[in-house]
Structure 1
Amino acid sequence: MVFGTGCKKFLEETDPSNLTPDTYYTIPEHAEAALAAGYAQTRFIGGGAGIFVANFSMLEVVTGTARTETGQNSDLNNLVGLQYNGDNLLVRNWWNGLYSVIAQTNLVLDRVPAITPMDETRKAQILGEARFLRAWAYFYLVRLYGDVPLITKPQTTESEDFLPQRKSLEEGYALIVDDLSQAEAAGLPWMDASGRASRAAVKSLLAKVYLTMAGQPLNKGAEYYRLAADKAKDVIDNSGATLFATYADLHSLAQENKGEHIFQIQYLASVAGNPMQQLLLPNFKNVSAYSDEVGSTVPTTQFYNSYEPNDLRARDRQGFFYTSYYDGGDGALKPLNAPYIFKHFDVVANGTAGTKGTAQADLNWPLIRYADVLLIYAEAQNRADGSPNAQAYEALNSIRRRAQIPVLAGLSQTTFEEAVWRERWHELCYEGQTWFDMVRLRKVYNEATNGFDAFVGHKFPDNPTIVLAEKHYLFPLPTAEMRNNPNLTPQNPGY
């Protein structure tokens, strides 16, 4: 009898080391850890996508401003040639990575409210940060894939909507705006040097969302240009964010999460190092401490040559590019005979003159930069009011002054708008921005004419056989996801 009772008690006991969502979210530290896991999921952008490629490349090589020096990854090659479909690994990784962020933030939003006792101010901030991250992920999804499932609760195989249907773009943007509006009211600081989402990050992202809604495909026009301008102006006037004095600060470890950097993906070599340094280096030209130098994503010469004369951003190792570097990272300076991306170059990891690199990259990856906010304001105010005001000119010209090129004045609405667009191409290159500008504007910068072509029919200067078509407004849904969930049909047009 005693033996039987003991067995019954043993079988009824709960293993304290077996944590589940029902048993984990019980103390404030659990809320912090769960939110940190949401931030960690954003690192999928730098995650691998087969040999010699990371996911960030998808948004660059389809713009015509980037090419590859390695031909060993067929998925990357298909993106370069605009011949991709739903089987493409990078297309699938973006879908899965974004929904991983959403899954983690849904857990935070569902479980953290019930944690007691907990400081209510910090609880509100955690929920606000989670809403920001969820909105950030959905904003990518609707721009990349169009109508997508809107999952707002934690899922299990028993969930009623475990095989969800796609929702309209209007519903998707409504969720994004609602999440960001609630995050605005969450009591976040204007800036946060720890790398967490801040009020400036929330308002900057909301300005970008409104600007996108004003353009294609929703085409909401003047009202949303006004909303975008007002949000951007709020950041300009109140956040304390500033342009860095030098471009070197953009990739300086000492300047991370401050000044111009409003929101970044966080890296620390001892925990999760930046994996993109080797991919951006010239293909095995021995200019760093790394043994692998891939050249996975590098600038096209045509785009590099499109900068205005004397533009500091195109000056070797002073702006966004380098055309020479030190042998082995720390030896004699040598020419490279092509431009490479200096904007994301980790000097400590790669090395510099007389100083050997560590081959361990701590450098963060930019997601929202103050320069983008200035250009959002300039474009949106001009469209909302019919002509640029003094602050719009100042927003545009502050970026041009830093580049040491002439300031602009006396432009019409149209010529000012195109000047802002050109500045977006030249200032925000290789930050995952250009493709989305192409889609919302239905325009593409033409490096040869310095003007803008219609999206459909634009030929890539680096290879004029590559031509943009209407199908390219959206990426295809991943084939594997459509097999797993028949409710995702139909596939996007043209795929």
Structure 2
Amino acid sequence: MKSRYNKIAGILLFFATMLSASCSSFLEEQDPSSLSPDSYFTLPEHATAGIAAAYDRTRFIGGGAGIFSVNWSMPEMVTGTASTETGQNTDLNNLQSLVYNGDNVHVNNWWNGLYVVIAQTNLVLDKVPGINPMEDATKKSILGEAYFLRAWSYFYLVRLFGDVPLIIKPVDASSPELKPTRTAVKDVYTQIVNDLKTAEASGLPFTDASGRASLGAVKTLLAKVYITMAGNPLNLGQEYYKLAADKAKEVIDNGGYSLFANYNDLHSVSTENVGEHIFELQFLASVDDNSLQDILLPNFKEISAYSTEIGSTVPTESFVKSFEAGDKRVQEQQFFYTSYYTGGIGPLKPLNKPYIFKHFDVLANGTFNTVGTTRSDLNIPNLLYSDLLLTYAEAQNETDGSPNAVAYKAINDIRTRATLPTLSGLSQAAFREAVWRERWHELCYDNLTWFDMVRLRKVYNEATNGFDDFVGHAFSYGPVLAQKHLLFPMPTNELKNNPNLGPQNPGY
């Protein structure tokens, strides 16, 4: 049955007329059943609750996507570096086999999840300026965070789907955005850049150990946006590589972030929102449990306190074998593990293949003689300093025609941590590919690889240690990338409910 309006509009309209239940504690003797944005956004506490709701919505990435899968898996399953040990989720298996379409649950969830964040930020940006009295610096900061989160959302959308509806105001029943049309990619990027520049000027602290958006996060995201604009599909070239390099250098020069000395700090509750973590998706077991733990465990090998072990997303052995000889990242319990404690507490049990350790919560799963809690407070990394360093190195090399000392230091700091030889004396082309290789290996399973594949139109070849063109590259387990895979399909339901969104992306 055809719905009255498409799902984007429904989401935007819903969040323009309702707020999360957590906001009700700030009300002053008002009937909750009569709430509206106009009656709610009257106190500074309402602004705080409104932006908190926007952060809450970002956790959709860790949300469920049908049986035995989460949304986080979608960008991993289409890279050729990930496989699955569960056959129950057809949508997940179709992603891995590159035969997905607009009916895919993961595709729908990414689309809807991102527009929910946009709906909430639009509400904050529209209503918070009118709250009076409210301390100016606090108001400016909250608006800066909202601009950051809206840009963050549209940056995902435009890379995943290409032309997408650009909606920057709350929607009500009379809004034309109930049936939105798609906006050209270049115009979406213009809005993203404008939002991030506004956020830059909003007085945010450079770092923020609470997990909120910081100035460092804004600048890091802007550097990533610029380097993406320099590449495909816009191909704006050297000017934007320079913008990316300059913005990344601002973050490096500030000194507020650094690489962890220990890889295990990448997935430790004690090191969240500091050091290498520029921005993370926040999880707290008592509020919203990190859902990656049982999903990423080996399929029912009984090595955890969790009763459900799924093996939903696991590394391909060919990718793990592609790391350089002596690379610390492939040593046991660094990025991967090949054995773990029986039941999470007992004798070591060999697993006979590698599994992802980068997101492993030792406290939740258990360790030798220590029972796991099966409740994970672990955040999901989103913006990493290692990514920022490699963004600078790549962008500077493209800008100046050869790597400078700072670019060498950026990549060599990462290689030194991995106990690999440092690089020197490379040509522009050789350095370019060295950075790309480092991105594939250092940033694996961080939801970054597919986006590199699309902007570069290149894919790492594990057998040759070189790079193939995107179109025609064959994964080690058989599927071949085609032109259509440069974008995900528009969700089928969206197209059915709103003809203004057509046509479907090419090839679907």
TM tier, shorter chain?
over 0.9
Distance 2:236 2:114 in 1: 26
Structure 2 CA distance, aligned partners of 1:246 and 1:14?
Answer: 51
Residue 463 of structure 2 aligns with which residue? 448
> What secondary structure is seen at the aligned counterpart in 2 of 1:126?
helix
Q: Distance in 2 between matches of 1:418 and 1:117?
A: 55
Q: Which TM-score applies when normalising by structure 2?
A: 0.94
- Is 1:38 the counterpart of 2:38? The answer is no
**Counterpart amino acid of residue 507 in structure 2:** G
Aligned to 1:66: 82
Give the letter aligned to residue 500 of structure 2: N
Cα 1:437–1:16, aligned 2, differ >3 Å: closer, same or farther?
closer
Distance change >3 Å, CA 31–CA 301, structure 1 → 2: same
3-state secondary structure, aligned to 1:374: helix
Aligned residue number for residue 242 of structure 1: 258
Distance 1:161 1:329 in 2: 51
Instruction: State the partner residue of 1:434.
Output: 449
Alignment partner of 2:432 out of 412, 417, 432: 417
> Could you tell me whether the CA contact under 8 Å between 1:91 and 1:478 is conserved in 2?
yes
1:46-77 deviations in whole A, cap 9, x for unaligned?
11111000001110010000000001111011
- Once the two structures are TM-superposed, the CA of residue 334 in structure 1 deviates from its matched residue by 1.5
- Matching residue within 173, 196, 215 for 2:212: 196
| Residues 1:393 and 2:408 aligned together | yes
For the pair 1:480 / 2:506, whether they are aligned, the reply is: no
Residue identity opposite 1:276 in structure 2? L
Which residue matches 1:347?
362
Shift of 1:267: 0.4
Which SS does the other structure have where 1:467 is aligned? Answer: coil
The equivalent residue for 2:22 is none
Tell me, what secondary structure is at the counterpart of 2:383? Answer: strand
Q: How far did 1:474 drift?
A: 0.4
**TM-score of the superposition, structure 1-length normalised?**
0.96
Q: Residue 26 of structure 1 contacts residue 116 of structure 1 at CA under 8 Å; is this kept in 2?
A: yes
Q: Is the 8 A contact 1:274 1:362 kept in 2?
A: yes
How many angstroms apart in 2 are the aligned matches of 1:321 and 1:153?
44
Distance in structure 1 (CA, Å) of the matches to 2:469 and 2:458:
5
Report the 3-state secondary structure (helix = DSSP H, G, I; strand = E; otherwise coil) of the residue aligned with 1:339.
Answer: strand
AA in 2 matched with 1:110: D
Quick one: which of 459, 469, 475 aligns to 2:482?
469
SS of 2:183 mapped into structure 1: coil
Give the counterpart of 1:329 among 323, 344, 350.
Answer: 344
Q: How far does residue 161 in structure 1 lie from its aligned partner after superposition?
A: 2.5
Per the alignment, residue 361 of structure 1 pairs with 376
Which deviations, in whole Å up to 9, do the C-alpha atoms of 1:75-111 show, x marking residues without a partner? 0111010001111110010000000000000000000
What is the aligned-residue identity percentage?
A: 68
Displacement of 1:14: 7.7
Root mean square deviation of aligned Cα: 1.0
1:16, CA displacement in angstroms? Answer: 5.6
One-letter code of the match for 1:254?
S
Give 2:114's aligned residue. 98
Identify if the C-alpha distance between structure 1 residues 487 and 239 changes in structure 2 by more than 3 Å, giving closer, same or farther. farther
Task: Give, in whole Å, the separation in 1 of the partners of 2:227 and 2:503.
Answer: 28
Structure 1 residues 379-388 or 238-247, which shifts more?
A: 238-247
**1:176 alignment counterpart:** 192
Amino acid at match of 1:41: R
- Alignment deviations for residues 199-240 of structure 1 (CA, whole Å, 9 cap, x no partner): 000000000000000001100000000000000000000141
- Aligned mates of 2:171, 2:297 — CA distance in 1: 41
Q: In structure 2, what is the equivalent of residue 8 of structure 1? A: none
The 8 Å contact of residues 61 and 80 in structure 1, kept in 2 or not, is answered as yes
Letter of the aligned partner of 1:252 in structure 2?
S
Structure 2 CA distance for aligned equivalents of residues 130 and 485 of structure 1 = 27
The answer for the alignment partner of 2:504 in structure 1 is 491
Supply the distance in 1 between the matched residues of 2:409 and 2:160 (Cα, whole angstroms).
32
Match of 1:265 among 281, 286, 306: 281
Question: Does the CA contact (< 8 Å) of 1:214 and 1:224 recur in 2?
Answer: yes
Output the CA distance in 1 between the equivalents of 2:294 and 2:133.
46
Alignment partner for residue 140 of structure 1, among 156, 165, 176? 156
Encode CA deviations 1:279-318: one digit per residue, 9 max, x unaligned.
Answer: 000000011100000000000000011111111111111x
Distance 2:35 2:91 in 1: 38
Structure 2 counterpart of 1:250, which letter?
L
Question: 2:95, 2:176 → 1: CA distance?
Answer: 36
| CA contact 1:190–1:239 (8 Å) conserved in 2 | no
Aligned pairs (5 A) from 1:368-383: 368-383=383-398
Which residue of structure 1 lines up, in the alignment, with residue 68 of structure 2?
Answer: 52
Which of structure 1's runs of 4+ aligned residues deviate more than 2 A? Answer: 13-18
| CA–CA separation in structure 2 for the residues paired with 1:67 and 1:85 | 19
Q: Distance in 1 between matches of 2:447 and 2:208?
A: 23
SS in 2 for 1:33: helix
Residue in 2 aligned with 1:83?
Answer: 99
Q: Which residues of structure 1 form unaligned runs of 5+? A: 1-12
Name structure 2 gaps, 5 residues minimum.
1-28
2:17 is matched with none
Cα distance in 2, alignment partners of residues 363 and 397 from structure 1 = 29
Q: Deviations over 1:150-199 (max 9, x none)?
A: 00011122213221100101100000000000000000001000000000
Distance 2:447 2:259 in 1: 19
Contact 1:213–1:219 (CA<8 Å) still a contact in 2?
yes
Residue in structure 2 matching 1:226, options 239, 242, 247: 242
> Secondary structure of the residue that 2:275 maps to in structure 1?
coil
Partners of 1:200 and 1:239 within 8 A in 2: no
Counterpart of 1:282 (choices 298, 305, 329) is 298
1:109 to 116, 122, 125: 125
- SS of aligned partner of 2:146: helix
2: CA distance between counterparts of 1:91 and 1:271? 26
1:302 to 318, 324, 327: 318
Partner of 1:5: none
**Structure 1 range deviating more: 421-430 or 151-160:** 151-160
Q: CA deviation at 1:15?
A: 3.6
2:361 partner letter: D
Shift of 1:18: 2.6
